[in-house]
Amino acid sequence: MKNLNIQSFFPECLRVIEIIKEKQITIKLKSLKHQQKCQVCGQEMTGYHGTYVRTVQDLPILGKNVILEITAYEYNCTNEDCIQKTLVEDYDEFLSKYSRMTSRCEDFIRILALSTSCEGAALICAKMGLKVSGDTIIRMLKKMADENPVPQCGDTIGVDDFAYRKGQTYCTVVCDWETRRPVAVLEGRDGESLRKWLQENKHIKKVTRDRASAYAKVISEVLPEAMQIADRFHLYQNLLSAVKEALKVELPNKIPIPNTAPEVSEETVVNTTTINDTDELKKNRKNK
């Protein structure tokens, strides 16, 4: 293949008119739509009242920045009761109404931001020739979150705390038992944010949690019928702490390891015998 069909990278309703290669690549497109649905009242408009050139960014190709110049149409909503007077076109999944970049460009920036940070993504984009600020990327992520609300979780959840900043800021995470995915990240670990969340999710029937009393108290108050389960991880953790405490009391801080090799000296054997003596151990610990 020697020629690349640029038209195949655009929806059918946008026809490529001209490609200009300078410092950047400018692709001129013409809208073939001639109709638009009002986003407020749903009225279908076919008569446009004007045209304008819409400039948007697309993904860079071969190290060059790509700008689209789209000759698009404007419409007036013909429904007299509608509050929306002027309408502009959108192009299916390709470009939304007021966006200044294509959807594939937005997708790329969002993935970059989620893998790095909003400011980090803005810096990488600037190096690639994409103009977008960190604040704009934050708005793009918020919009994505609004458009894709977290689905309601099942009736079994796991609750635990984690350090956002160790020793300073703690949060509470709620995970859906079925999907094993987080469904809420809440401020603090004193249980108050969990109380609010549970009040909005009264379908919860089982909660696995650590053995701290803050969560237990809140769950009992908001959902008295819910079964509370001490999860295996925290049971093991508690058992380990208890064993550690018991060993601290019973054993000295330092235990010499007896040398059992054949060439062992007589003195080492004597020491080993001493170590095995329980009374001597206690004496040893007291001296420390």
Residues that bind Zn ion (CB under 5 A): 38, 40-41, 43, 77, 79, 82, 84
| Residue at token pair 């819910």 | 226
- The nearer residue to Zn ion, 26 or 79, going by C-beta atoms, is 79
Least separation in angstroms between residue 98's CB and Zn ion is: 16
DSSP 149-195: PPPPP-SEEEEEEEEEETTTEEEEEEEETTT--EEEEEE-SSSHHHH
Least separation in angstroms between residue 211's CB and Zn ion is: 58
Least separation in angstroms between residue 70's CB and Zn ion is: 23
Least separation in angstroms between residue 88's CB and Zn ion is: 13
Tell me the pairing of strands 182-187 and 206-209: unpaired
- The nearer residue to Zn ion, 34 or 282, going by C-beta atoms, is 34
DSSP 3-44: ---GGGGS-TTEEEEEEEESSSEEEEEEE----EE-TTT--E
Least separation in angstroms between residue 85's CB and Zn ion is: 8
Nearest to 27 by CA among 61, 52, 3, 73: 61
Rounded distance between C-alpha atoms, residue 97 and residue 87, angstroms: 9
Q: What is the CA radius of gyration of the chain?
A: 33
- The nearer residue to Zn ion, 77 or 118, going by C-beta atoms, is 77
- The nearer residue to Zn ion, 80 or 263, going by C-beta atoms, is 80
- The nearer residue to Zn ion, 77 or 204, going by C-beta atoms, is 77
